């Protein structure tokens, strides 16, 4: 399952909503038999990286989104959370 574009508006950040949303996605995927959840985030999204790593995701790759990204050394990180069998 791919998690795409999760975001919490600035005025609601710091309340644990993103953590709760992430847990909900992982539970949803696990309940439906998915083996893993994958996502991508940019190198500048440090808070997002910390959130995902705290939820059990691990960085599995990095890439440049374009030639300009390569020239600017701007990377996109790929993350994966293996779900196991839920036991």
DSSP code for 11: G
Residue range 22-61, pLDDT digits in tens: 999 999 999 999 999 999 999 999 999 999 999 999 999 9
Residue range 54-64, pLDDT digits in tens: 999 999 999 99
Pairwise CA distance, residues 4 & 33, whole Å: 19
pLDDT for residue 85: 63
What domains appear along the chain, each with residue ranges and CATH number? Answer: 15-82 (3.40.630.30)
């Amino acid at each position: 399952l791919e998690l795409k574009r999760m975001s919490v508006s600035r005025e609601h950040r710091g309340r644990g909503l993103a953590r709760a949303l992430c847990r909900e996605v992982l539970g949803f995927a696990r309940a439906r038999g998915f083996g893993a959840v994958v996502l991508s985030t940019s190198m500048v999204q440090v808070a997002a990286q910390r959130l995902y790593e705290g939820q059990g995701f691990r960085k599995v790759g990095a890439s440049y989104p374009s030639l300009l990204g390569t020239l600017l050394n701007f990377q996109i990180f790929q993350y994966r959370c293996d779900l196991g069998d839920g036991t």
